[in-house]
Amino acid sequence: MAAPASNHQPASGVPPADPGAIRAALTPTLVAEFDREWNLVLEQAKQTHALTEVFDLLNKWQHIVVMEWRSPGSYFGVLAKAEQIQRAGGRAETVTIEEHRAAIQRRLQAD
């Protein structure tokens, strides 16, 4: 198993939809997550004889790479937020439209 590269960002800003390129752009902790999902999807592909899930996974991880370059640690932040929502019974903290409007008004008045 090759060690990940130094998180080199390609000129296009998005790694190719290639497992090796994606792995090379990830931190070691994220490589472990990618490998876990990769192995699950490959097993599914063997059973279904379809590659849709493989392509979906590569696309998902291309987005994660870009997200991590922009905001390191954001992947685990999203997972933590999802866990918090699940613990709360599937409901995220909600804000009413009136609260949004009031916040917008406060910002407009501050300028």
* 35, burial (CB in 10 Å: exposed 0-12, middle 13-18, buried 19+): middle
**pTM here?**
0.68
Round to whole Å and give the CA distance between 111 and 103: 13
Query: Taking the domains of the chain in order of start, what are their residue ranges?
Result: 19-110
Tell me what pLDDT residue 38 has: 98
Could you list the pLDDT tens digit for every one of the 111 residues in the chain?
A: 333 444 455 555 789 999 999 999 999 999 999 999 999 999 999 999 999 999 999 999 999 999 999 999 999 999 898 888 888 777 666 778 888 898 899 989 987
